[in-house]
Structure 1
Amino acid sequence: MMNNITLITMLSIGLIGCSTSPLERHEKLVEKQFEQREDRVDEVIDNIPDWYVQVPQPTGAGFYAAGTSTGRLLKTSVMKSTLDAEFALAKQYKQLVSGNERSFVRESGEGDNAQLQSEAQQVVDKLVKEVDLSGYKVIDKLIQKEGVTYRSYVLLYMPYDANNLVKMARKTTRIAAQEAYDELDRRIIDSDSRVNDSH
């Protein structure tokens, strides 16, 4: 009987020592959630393509631009990341593109208990009046799952000659058309002169 009481007492002390309060359980849960978020962020960072972190330098033949974006729909994510990369190309090419970015970040609390609230808005109007971005090539594209959204990365390459050839072709066409109009005007003037001289 004494052994049973000793055993029951020891088990009770062990159970009391092992039991946790609701506060302790909550703290452990919050700590676990923080570690999971930290792991997800580490995973995202580990999966960023090198060409996005360090965009290849321009060469004598052309230049590169990278873009990224997220979206709940795959198509939206890819479209937004491509637009981001096109905007980066445009900035390098000094195109007439208007863009507006706004960002608000607020952090409250300190250390591990800090709460981060952010709002970001990016508006890009692709109003290209005289410079054409046609001729760029998609060099690489990477799509990843990020929580319940898709993240897309796009690397674009713009060869100098492709855009210059388009410009030269347009210029050549304009010059040829102007020369043809000038020739037609001369012929009309000559014809009118001959008609007036014969009268």
Structure 2
Amino acid sequence: MKKDFTILYPAHENIYVNVTNRCPFNCTFCLRQSMDSVYGNEKSLWLTKEPSVEEVIDAFKQRDISSYKEIVFCGFGEPTERLYDIFEICDYLKQNYDKPIRINTNGMANLIWNKDTTKDFKNRIDIVSVSLNHPDKNKYQKLVRSKFGIKTHEAMLEFVKEVKKYVSKVVLTTVDTTLSKEEEKLCQKICDELQVEYRIRPYEE
């Protein structure tokens, strides 16, 4: 895989922030297993190094953000691996841009940091999008191949339950090619019980 130093990249009328290659999952359907970039971007999202907080802020200063709908932390790694750097960046963004801030995550922040991180999302992140992936914990683990093992599914749902207390919107997602219609109904039931939104997202090729 070729590497680059792509910090910001556009997609879906939003500006995306790429801060790490690290991830505790090795998902069977992950795009980064077969490509260097997504959404028609020419530059690789595989980072030559992790950008510092200052480098991310400088990247924003060099770009006109006014035309984008949202600022989204999502790249070729799990963004919560650098959660507290992201919070520092969010503090800057909130002071300088009137844009909703979203983070796309696997919901492992509390396991990654070995503590409850959810209170720190308050006034920083507006939307948390969590990959639900599967309603069954065993099949979920086969899909995501988490380094945390079988407890991962329960930990993800517990993270959702807590983080919704501190952010205005929480969405759980699955990929349309990975589940049956019956499994999607079970995912909807989980979301209804948690009182969060459910979205089935298309597989991006």
Same fold (TM over 0.5): no
- Please identify the structure whose Cα radius of gyration is greater: 1
Task: Give me the TM-score of the superposition, normalised by structure 1.
Answer: 0.19
Whose strand fraction is larger, Structure 1's or Structure 2's?
1
Whose helix fraction is larger, Structure 1's or Structure 2's?
1
